[in-house]
Amino acid sequence: MSTTTPSTPSTPSTPSMTLDVSGTPKVPFTRLVGVELRKIYDTRAGRWLLGAIVLITAAIMTIFFFAADAPDRTFGNFIGVSATPQGFLLPVLGILLVTSEWTQRTAMVTFALEPSRTRVIAAKTVAALIFGVAAFLAAIVVAGLCTLVGGADGGFEGLEARIFLLFLALQLLTILQGLAYGLILLNTPAAIVTFFVLPIASSIVFNLVSGLRDLAPWLDLGTAQGPLFESFGASALTGEEYAQLGTTTLIWIVIPFVLGWIRVMRAEVK
């Protein structure tokens, strides 16, 4: 856009009308993830939530440690009890990571610094999953310690890596589910309520309406995930049960996530 005409008083001679961006690389994705990780714990709400996850996980394992009969104090059971608080609270972390950008209107700043909304959503997703993995690893360490200190004889026996991975995948999918509802609703209370109430309402409907009961494992998330919790440390899942996990994951997690993604791509950032 550099001009060859001589400068006039109203347009003083200017070195350049173009931006020289040759020396500026794009913001690396790892840096975006780093910033999103920081956003999780740099507010009081985020720190309280993280503290609650750690404390409740530790508390519930301690309670189980003293309350359970000695033979039940296996590594698998310790992990199992940690799943409930983490499964409830980690998705809230994901929801907050998305919705606070809109309720606090920081999306205006975030998208001004990284105009690719896809990269921002991806960075948020990776950041939330990193916290999920960290929470799972922490649960394994604590459960390992509990089993070593006061576990049943042979508390580590009969463990299958495949089950653990499936279990981790389930935790991460639950986080994705939280992110998905956050992306669709872009409103913290609405997303949290939807995340907790909708699956319960679905389970009630599928269990009460007799005509739907047969379809429940294929359509209701809670019903499909049931065998995973029951089979923990015991028998593996059947092929049909895997397929049911697949269809319910698609309906309850993948499709909402895609819809939420599309909404954010199109939304006008206010």
Partner 1 sequence: MIKVDRLTRTYGGFTAVDDVSFTCQPGRVTGFLGPNGAGKTTTMRIMVGLTPATRGSVTIGGLAYHDIPNPGRHVGVLLDAGAQHAGRTGREILTLGAKTMGLPLSRVDEMLALVSLTDAEAKRRMRNYSLGMKQRLGIAHALLGDPSVLILDEPANGLDPAGIRWMRDLLKGYANRGGTVLLSSHLLNEVELVADEMILIGRGTIVAQGDKASLLAQSGPAASLVTSLDNDALARALQGQGYAVTPAGSGLRVDAEPVQVGRAALEAGVVLTDLRSGARGLEDLFLELTAGTQREGHPAAATQLQEGAQA
Say whether residue 34 binds partner 1 (CB under 8 A): yes
Say whether residue 263 binds partner 1 (CB under 8 A): no
Q: How many CB atoms lie within 10 A of CB 177?
A: 23
Q: How far is the CB of 44 from partner 1 (least distance, A)?
A: 5
Say whether residue 161 binds partner 1 (CB under 8 A): no
Q: How far is the CB of 23 from partner 1 (least distance, A)?
A: 9
| Range 35-64, binding partner 1 (CB under 8 A) | 35, 38-39, 42-45
How many whole angstroms separate alpha carbon 99 and alpha carbon 105? 9
CB 123 within 8 A of CB 33: yes
Using the CB atoms, write b or e for 191-219: b if 16+ within 10 Å.
bbebbeeebeebbeebeeeeeeeeebbbb
Say whether residue 210 binds partner 1 (CB under 8 A): no
Handedness of CA 170, 44, 195, 56 (dihedral sign): positive
How many whole angstroms separate alpha carbon 100 and alpha carbon 50? 16
How many whole angstroms separate alpha carbon 140 and alpha carbon 155? 13
| Range 101-140, binding partner 1 (CB under 8 A) | 104-106, 108-109, 111-116
Residue closer to partner 1 by CB (options 29, 229) is: 29
Q: How far is the CB of 10 from partner 1 (least distance, A)?
A: 7
Q: How far is the CB of 199 from partner 1 (least distance, A)?
A: 29
- Half-sphere exposure for 210 (CA within 13 Å, toward CB): 0
Question: Out of 4, 6, 12, 239, which residue is the one contacting partner 1 (CB under 8 A)?
Answer: 12
Instruction: Name the token pair of 4.
Output: 């060859």
Question: Out of 4, 5, 8, 18, which residue is the one contacting partner 1 (CB under 8 A)?
Answer: 18
Q: How far is the CB of 260 from partner 1 (least distance, A)?
A: 19
Binding-site ranges for partner 1 (CB under 8 A): 1, 10-12, 14-19, 21, 24-28, 31-32, 34-35, 38-39, 42-45, 100, 104-106, 108-109, 111-116, 268-269
